[in-house]
Amino acid sequence: MHLVIALIQTILIELGVLLLLKERRIKVLLSSVAVNVLTNVPLNLYLASSDYTWSRVVVCELIVVAIESLWYLCFTGNFRQSVIYSFLCNAVSFLVGLLLVIIVEYVLLYC
């Protein structure tokens, strides 16, 4: 269930980032959903089954950014734009997810 929630949150956050970047092409927005299913699920499964270290998370996130940059390149035709999309989408979704974990931990600890 955790994987499904994480996937849905990531998809919604990254679609929001693309919309804030004024991306309106349906094929790019739908491709964002597809690439998140293809990268988010394996990433979370791998991290859940391995020693969870920050260096491992960073390396995995960089690999995802590289894969998604190439993916977006196929749909935008613009290398610079695809790297920006991938980096910003993943940075924002990672930071929002981290913030949510911190909030939940705080509530569980102090409330």
CA distance linking residue 7 with residue 24, whole number of Å:
22
In degrees rounded to 5, what are phi and psi of residue 108? -65, -35
Q: What tokens appear for 61 in the block?
A: 């996130």
What is the mean pLDDT, run by run of 10 residues, along the chain of 111 residues? Answer: 91 98 98 97 91 90 97 98 98 94 93 82
DSSP assigned state of 50: S
78-110: pLDDT as tens digits:
999 999 999 999 999 999 999 998 999 999 999
- The pLDDT score that the predictor gives to residue 52 is 82
CA distance linking residue 33 with residue 41, whole number of Å:
12
- Number of domains forming the structure of the chain: 1
CB 85 within 8 Å of CB 21: yes
DSSP assigned state of 111: -
Domain that holds residue 102: 2-110
pTM exceeds 0.85? yes
DSSP H helices in the chain: 2-20, 26-49, 54-76, 79-110
